[in-house]
């Protein structure tokens, strides 16, 4: 018999067992007694039959619980539940509003991040060959010749194409505009598998010396500048580049084609490669992509690229050093395009997931409170045979609707936020913006409904338990047991913990930002402007003309009123990316097979150091008067270089040796450059990068076409005046990127800034939702006890003492929740350690203020309802029950 | 009314109650005797059927009839009007089926 009872306990749903269990046991006992009288075989058979009967009944009753019994079956039942749910939500506007708002806030930020993730990470590349295109040696700047060589020599790729960018003037069909043009090897579009919608693509002939200058237009520029005119094919337009003032349009690219180089690419021109040339001077900074040959996979391509890089080093040891070769790699094109955006987005995704959890906890609490107050109604329903499953379904349906509502509101919020975010934190967005596509909408709504339903699951299960007697007799609006109150408390503590994690992370990021800003950049960032100028190749075809051009522009700039100092530099400080050359310092032994020292190099014109506000430690900056006749050029090193190469004695007067001489190993090393000054370290990389040795060479001796002007003024200067000065030398010269030096100095902080903003925003939202949660739960808890307060006050208790003791109770919960979040914040901090700067994950200077602030906020949220409840008029409170 | 089937166990319980209220055990005995021992409902089947019939309102719990109050634990059930009607419908449905079978000369197999 005990066995039978055990079986019943295991097999039957509790409700059924409570109701019928004893009758069944009695019946079973009777049957067994009967069978025993007929012999042992009958007894065993009967026992077996009883066991089977118990199990079958169990199965049947369980399935009954969760399907429809009395009011409608299957689909019809669901629809009815939804209708009932909608009516109920409408009748409780307070609950619906708070719940929907909480959900909307969390879903809003989630939707925004989904849109980003969708646009950046999930969108498949719109190229026919997308799954076969590999980005090759992405850390290298490829020259035309390298591309050609790779195309010939690599077996695992069918063809290799190069792409780069430049800004060219379009002076046609409207006012002269600067266009961003992609300079590509003629086979690029073949490699990608994209075909023009009008005209033709580039052919190999277009890339040969002496070919007619041609161009492909993007769809956007075709519609915007040329009115979508099909007659544009074959037209010659004034678009510069590579010494060609005019080009013939041969085709238009499709409208959904996303160019390598970004959506702002307006046109393509073919790069002319002389098959006979052999230079590797990287004068054509390009990236290279290859089309994997049939049967080759990424691993094969990667292995071959690495091997090829080694071969290139053997052929050209002066140009390819071991460190560069070590970075040779191959990536799928899709991965290479999103590589540096993936991590921040994934971190953002984690952040919004936390916020959603906080909102779910809130929702669960709200549902608990609501079903708690409906427990009577639900118990009656269960007693009338509604069935547990039905009750659960009702609550779930209601909350699914709530999820739908919250999700829709959240999407609207996200759309609104998107505009604001694009303006304030553009770095996080791809050039195309974050599109809220159908996929994002569907996913968001599904997530919202799932979250709401899940949040309501536990409360629903509890509410449908149906012990009718307690529910029917209890006071209105109570959760009939301690377990409910404990659950609410745990949820609130969890919310606070999550919010704490986010806020602490935000604090740490904010601190990092402050520390980064405090780093001395090595130049003076106030009262300065910078912009970039390119000497067009068609007007200034050779080195001499380029030098003269910049000298003339500099003279024109000096004449602009307000300009105190001005000079040019090849790359502004605090920039990402390096310009490195190998250097052979005089007197420094390079061991056999050892690494040749590398230095950061910059080209400068006279006036640069004064303009940027750098400090000379020794010697002087170079001038145009220096050694015009001599073969040896002049230059300036920074302190790091001086200390590294010539630690004892001054660096001034020392030399760097020429490459060629050093290679040939001939005894006589002939000097290439003489150091005339040592400058205090300027942060050429970001503020968190260590300063390495740097060499500043006169522009005259190494004339680059694109230089950045730095202007220092005492009292401010009009940027238009500066532009006019440049155009007075040549009106067709593009002037780009006009910004203040303060902006330049801030550049290194971009990434941290973005993350700090994100963390702060999310932390704020989480804290808001969490505070609402505290408020709601405390409000509910003290609301239940209004009668008790009323009695106590009537019996002479002091209101203030009451208030204080209640606040202490709530306070314990708040403190517990916040402290619970600290280890979580530590874990997150460890993960983000590479982003932090100048601060450790558990820095007390951040931790203490944040924890205190959060506790205060939580206590405030609890204090409001406590105060209201203890102000209760005893008569009112007693009567309300 | 649609061709809804009344589960056999429930129908048997209804039939058992046709001649007066009974408790669970009594229902089982009645069913067993009337089928010559062939159908012997297990407790789960029995009370599951009773539960469902009660929920549909086709049987109702009643106090023990006179002369049997001694057995307090036992719950007595009687058939309600709707229950009687439902039983009648089921019988008619079976009758119709049986008529078709006979018309097509199907001979019943096994015990009656």
Quick: pLDDT tens for A628-657. Answer: 666 778 889 888 888 888 888 788 888 887
Where are the alpha helices (H) located in B1-112, listed in sequence order? 8-17, 24-34, 43-56, 81-103
CA diameter of chain A: 129
Percentage with pLDDT > 70 across chain A: 83
On the question of pLDDT at A145 being above 50, the answer is: yes
Among the listed residues A563, A491, A869, A505, the one whose alpha carbon sits nearest the alpha carbon of residue A709: A563
The answer to whether residue A833 neighbours chain B at the CB level (below 8 Å) is no
Partner-chain contact B47 A54, CB within 8 Å:
no
On the question of pLDDT at A734 being above 80, the answer is: no
Sorted by sequence, the CB contacts under 8 Å of residue A379 that are 6+ apart come out as A466, A467, A468, A470, A471, A472
A50 vs B contacts (CB less than 8 Å): 42-43
Sorted by sequence, the CB contacts under 8 Å of residue B49 that are 6+ apart come out as B7, B9, B10, B12, B13, B41
Partner-chain contact B25 A385, CB within 8 Å:
no
A24 vs B contacts (CB less than 8 Å): 43-44, 46-47
Q: Decide: residue A209, CB within 10 A, 0-12 exposed, 13-18 middle, 19+ buried.
A: exposed
Partner-chain contact A28 B43, CB within 8 Å:
yes
Percentage with pLDDT > 90 across chain A: 4
Give Cα separations from A528 to A210, A698, B97 (angstroms).
Answer: 45, 22, 101
- A528 strand-pairing partners: A712
On the question of pLDDT at A242 being above 70, the answer is: no
On the question of pLDDT at A13 being above 70, the answer is: yes
Q: How many residue contacts between A and B have a Cβ separation below 8 Å?
A: 60
Give Cα separations from A308 to A148, A304, A555 (angstroms).
Answer: 13, 6, 47
Give Cα separations from B90 to A42, A79, B2, B8, B39 (angstroms).
Answer: 34, 30, 12, 10, 19
Handedness of CA A477, A481, A482, A484 (dihedral sign): negative
d(Cα A280, Cα A270) in Å, to the nearest integer? 19
Partner-chain contact B44 A56, CB within 8 Å:
yes
CB A115 within 8 A of CB A414: yes
| Residue A866 phi, psi dihedral angles, 5° rounding | -60, -45
Tell me the whole-structure pTM to 2 decimals: 0.63
Partner-chain contact A53 B51, CB within 8 Å:
no
Q: What is the pLDDT of residues A276-296, one digit of tens each?
A: 655 444 445 567 888 888 888
d(Cα B14, Cα A282) in Å, to the nearest integer? 96
Where are the alpha helices (H) located in A785-843, listed in sequence order? 786-794, 799-831
| Residue A303 phi, psi dihedral angles, 5° rounding | -60, -40
Sorted by sequence, the CB contacts under 8 Å of residue A510 that are 6+ apart come out as A756, A760
Nearest chain B alpha carbon to A34: B29
Give Cα separations from A814 to A21, A120, A818 (angstroms).
Answer: 45, 39, 6
Sorted by sequence, the CB contacts under 8 Å of residue A37 that are 6+ apart come out as none
Among the listed residues A190, A162, A168, the one whose alpha carbon sits nearest the alpha carbon of residue A181: A168
On the question of pLDDT at A334 being above 80, the answer is: no
d(Cα A226, Cα A198) in Å, to the nearest integer? 13
The answer to whether residue B25 neighbours chain A at the CB level (below 8 Å) is yes
Mean pLDDT in residue range A145-172 = 80
Mean pLDDT in residue range A33-48 = 87
Q: What is the pLDDT of residues B65-112, one digit of tens each?
A: 766 655 556 788 999 988 898 899 999 999 998 899 888 888 777 654
Partner-chain contact B47 A28, CB within 8 Å:
no
Least confidently predicted of A172-176, A234-238, A621-625, A667-671 = A667-671
pLDDT at A427: 59
For residue A172, give the DSSP letter: S
Nearest chain B alpha carbon to A57: B44
638-697 in A: which are within 8 Å (CB) of B?
none
Q: Which of A23, A49, A52 sits opposite B75 (nearest CB)?
A: A23
For residue A276, give the DSSP letter: T
Alpha carbon of A21: minimum distance to chain B alpha carbons (Å): 9
Provide the residue count of chain A.
881
Nearest chain A alpha carbon to B27: A27
């Amino acid at each position: 018999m005990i066995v039978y009872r055990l079986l019943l306990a295991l097999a039957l749903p509790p409700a059924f067992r409570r109701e019928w269990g004893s009758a069944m046991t009695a019946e079973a006992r009777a049957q067994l007694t009967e069978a025993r009288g007929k012999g042992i075989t009958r007894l065993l058979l009967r026992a077996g039959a009883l066991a089977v009967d118990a199990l079958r009944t169990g199965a049947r009753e369980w399935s009954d619980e969760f399907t429809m019994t009395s009011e409608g079956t299957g689909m019809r039942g669901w629809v009815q539940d939804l209708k009932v749910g909608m009516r109920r939500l409408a009748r409780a506007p307070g609950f619906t509003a708070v719940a929907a708002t909480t959900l909307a806030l969390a879903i809003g930020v989630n939707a925004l991040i989904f849109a980003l993730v969708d646009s950046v990470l999930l969108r498949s590349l719109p190229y026919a060959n997308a799954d076969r295109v590999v980005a090759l040696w992405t850390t290298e700047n490829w020259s035309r010749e390298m591309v050609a060589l790779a195309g010939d020599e690599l077996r695992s790729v069918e063809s290799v194409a190069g792409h780069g960018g430049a800004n060219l003037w379009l002076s046609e069909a409207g006012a002269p505009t600067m266009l961003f043009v992609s300079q590509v090897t003629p086979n690029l579009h073949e490699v990608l598998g994209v075909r023009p919608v009008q005209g033709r693509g580039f052919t190999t002939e277009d890339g040969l010396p002496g070919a007619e200058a041609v161009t492909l237009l993007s769809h956007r520029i075709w519609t915007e500048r040329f009115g979508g005119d099909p007659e544009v094919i074959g037209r010659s337009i004034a678009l510069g580049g590579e010494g060609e003032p005019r080009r013939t349009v041969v085709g238009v690219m499709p409208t959904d084609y996303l160019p390598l180089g970004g959506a702002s690419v307006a046109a393509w021109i073919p790069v002319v490669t002389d098959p006979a040339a052999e230079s590797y001077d990287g004068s054509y900074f390009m990236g290279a992509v290859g089309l994997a040959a049939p049967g080759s996979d990424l691993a094969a391509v990667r292995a071959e690229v690495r091997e090829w890089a080694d071969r290139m080093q053997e052929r050209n040891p002066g140009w390819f050093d071991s460190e560069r070769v070590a970075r040779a790699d191959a990536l799928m094109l899709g991965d290479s395009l999103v590589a540096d955006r993936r991590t921040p987005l994934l971190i953002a995704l984690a952040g919004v997931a936390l916020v959603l959890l906080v909102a779910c906890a809130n929702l669960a609490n709200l549902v608990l409170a609501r079903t708690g107050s409906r427990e009577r109604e639900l118990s009656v329903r269960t007693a009338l045979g509604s069935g547990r499953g039905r009750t659960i379904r009702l609550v779930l349906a209601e909350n699914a609707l709530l999820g739908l509502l919250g999700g829709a509101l959240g999407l609207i919020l996200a759309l609104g936020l998107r505009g604001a975010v694009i303006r304030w934190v553009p770095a996080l967005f791809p050039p195309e913006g974050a599109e809220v596509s159908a996929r994002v909408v569907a996913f968001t709504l599904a997530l919202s409904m799932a979250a709401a339903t899940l949040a309501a699951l536990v409360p629903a299960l509890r509410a449908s338990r149906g012990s009718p007697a307690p529910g029917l007799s209890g006071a209105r609006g109570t959760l009939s047991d301690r377990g409910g109150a404990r659950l609410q408390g745990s949820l609130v503590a969890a919310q606070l913990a999550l919010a704490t994690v986010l806020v602490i992370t935000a604090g740490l990021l904010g601190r990092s930002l402050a520390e980064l800003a405090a780093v001395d950049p090595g130049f003076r960032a106030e009262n300065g402007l910078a912009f970039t100028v390119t000497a067009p190749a068609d007007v200034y075809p050779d080195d001499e003309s380029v030098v003269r051009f910049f000298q003339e522009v500099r003279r024109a700039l000096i004449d602009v009123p307000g300009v105190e100092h001005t000079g040019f530099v090849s790359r502004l400080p605090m920039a990402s990316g390096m310009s490195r050359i190998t250097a052979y310092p005089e007197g420094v032994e390079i061991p056999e097979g050892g690494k040749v020292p590398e230095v950061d190099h910059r080209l400068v014109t006279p006036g640069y150091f004064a303009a940027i506000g750098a400090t000379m430690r020794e010697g002087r900056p170079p001038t145009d008067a220096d050694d015009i006749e001599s073969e040896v050029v002049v230059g300036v090193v920074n302190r790091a270089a001086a200390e590294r190469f010539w630690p004892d004695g001054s660096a001034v007067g020392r030399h760097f040796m020429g490459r060629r001489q050093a290679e040939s190993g001939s005894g006589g090393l002939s000097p290439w450059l003489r150091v005339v000054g040592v400058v205090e370290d300027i942060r050429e990389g970001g503020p968190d990068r260590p300063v390495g040795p740097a060499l500043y060479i006169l522009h005259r001796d190494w004339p680059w076409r694109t230089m950045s002007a730095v202007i220092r003024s005492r009292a401010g200067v009009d940027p238009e005046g500066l532009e006019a000065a440049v155009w007075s030398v040549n009106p067709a010269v593009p002037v780009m990127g006009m910004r203040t030096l303060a902006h330049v100095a801030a550049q290194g902080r971009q990434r941290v800034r973005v993350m700090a903003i994100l963390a702060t925003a999310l932390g704020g939202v989480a804290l808001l939702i969490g505070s609402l949660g505290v408020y709601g739960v405390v409000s509910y808890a003290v609301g239940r006890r209004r009668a008790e307060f009323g009695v106590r006050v009537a019996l002479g208790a002091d209101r203030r003492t009451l208030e204080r003791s209640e606040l202490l109770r709530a306070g314990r919960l708040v403190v517990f929740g916040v402290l619970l979040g600290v280890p979580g914040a530590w874990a997150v901090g460890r993960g983000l350690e590479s982003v932090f700067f100048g601060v450790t994950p558990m820095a007390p200077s951040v931790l203490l203020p944040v924890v205190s602030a959060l506790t205060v906020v939580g206590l405030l949220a609890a204090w409001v309802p406590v105060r209201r409840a203890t102000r209760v008029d005893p008569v009112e409170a007693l009567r309300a029950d | 009314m649609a061709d809804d089937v009344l589960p056999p166990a429930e129908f048997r319980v209804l039939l058992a109650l046709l001649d007066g209220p009974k408790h669970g055990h009594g229902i089982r005995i009645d069913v067993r005797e009337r089928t010559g021992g062939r159908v012997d409902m297990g407790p789960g089947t029995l009370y599951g059927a009773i539960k469902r019939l009660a929920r549909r309102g086709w049987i109702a719990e009643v106090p023990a009839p006179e002369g049997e109050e001694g057995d307090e634990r036992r719950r007595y059930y009687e058939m309600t009007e709707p229950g009687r009607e439902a039983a009648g419908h089921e019988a008619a449905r079976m009758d119709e089926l049986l008529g078709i079978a006979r018309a097509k000369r199907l001979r019943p197999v096994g015990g009656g």
